[in-house]
A and B are shown apart, each in its own frame.
Chain A
Amino acid sequence: GEDVEQSLFLSVREGDSSVINCTYTDSSSTYLYWYKQEPGAGLQLLTYIFSNMDMKQDQRLTVLLNKKDKHLSLRIADTQTGDSAIYFCAESMLRDDKIIFGKGTRLHILP
C-alpha cells in the first residue's frame, strides 16, 4: 500500500545542520516534496524533487533521494530559530494523481 514514514521529532542546536529523513513505499511516485508548516499556518512548499533526480540543492536546503532504498532526506544547513516548524515529506503518485503525506517531523531548535 501507500505509506510515507518519518520520525516525529528532531532536536538540533542552532547553527548545526538538521537532517530530516523520510521513507516511502510506492516506487511509482513522480514527485517527492518537502513542506514546512509553522504553528497555526498552512503548508509552505519548501522544495521538491523529480523522481529521476538524486539530489537538489537550494540555498540552505539539500534534498537527497535514494530510489533503490526509497529514502528521501532534507538537510537544512546552519539551522536557525526560524526553521522551527513541522516538516512534511510527501509523494505524488503517477497512477491516481494523489499526494500522500507523512505525519510530519517537528524540528525543535536548541539555543
Chain B
Amino acid sequence: GAVVSQHPSRVICKSGTSVKIECRSLDFQATTMFWYRQFPKKSLMLMATSNEGSKATYEQGVEKDKFLINHASLTLSTLTVTSAHPEDSSFYICSARGGGGSREFFGPGTRLTVL
C-alpha cells in the first residue's frame, strides 16, 4: 500500500527557534497534502491543505505566518513552525492523497516539544 513518511519523528527545540517537518509520499504522487495537529485527549484538527505548486489553504484560526507550508513537488510537503513557543508542542501529522478521488494516507506523525 501507499506509504507516507515524516521526518523527523521527534524533535525538541528551544522557544523562539524554527522547526521544519517534512512529509513525503514514497510510492505515489500526492496532488494534495494535509497537515493535522493533535492535542492531548482531543481529535485531529486539520491545519491546512496544500496542493502541489500552489499556496496552502489554512483552516480558520491557524496562523499562516507561523505555520509555513510548502508543497514544492508531488512527493514532498514541508511544515515550518516559526518562532516556536511551548504551546506549539504537539503531535503533527501529515497525510497525502493522489489524484482521481483516491484515499488519504497518513504519515506516522512528528512529536514537537518546545522548551
Contacts and interface: CB of A to CB of B under 8 A. Distances in A.
Interface string B76-97: 0000000000000000010101
A82 to B, nearest CB: 18
B98 interface: no
Nearest to A8: B41
B106 A88 contact: no
Contacts, number: 38
B44 A41 contact: no
Interface residues of B, number: 20
A103 B6 CA distance: 23
A103 B108 contact: no
B104 A42 contact: no
B19 interface: no
Contact of A48 (B97, B103, B109): B103
Size bin of chain A's contact surface: 10 to 19
Contact of A42 (B42, B46, B103, B107): B107
Given A88-B43, A104-B43, A45 B105 contact: yes
Interface of B: 6, 32, 34, 41-44, 46, 49, 93, 95, 97, 103-109, 111
Given A45-B105, A88-B44, A103-B42, 14 more contacts: A40-B111, A42-B107, A42-B108, A42-B109, A43-B106, A48-B103, A92-B104, A98-B46, A98-B49, A99-B104, A101-B43, A101-B44, A103-B41, A103-B43
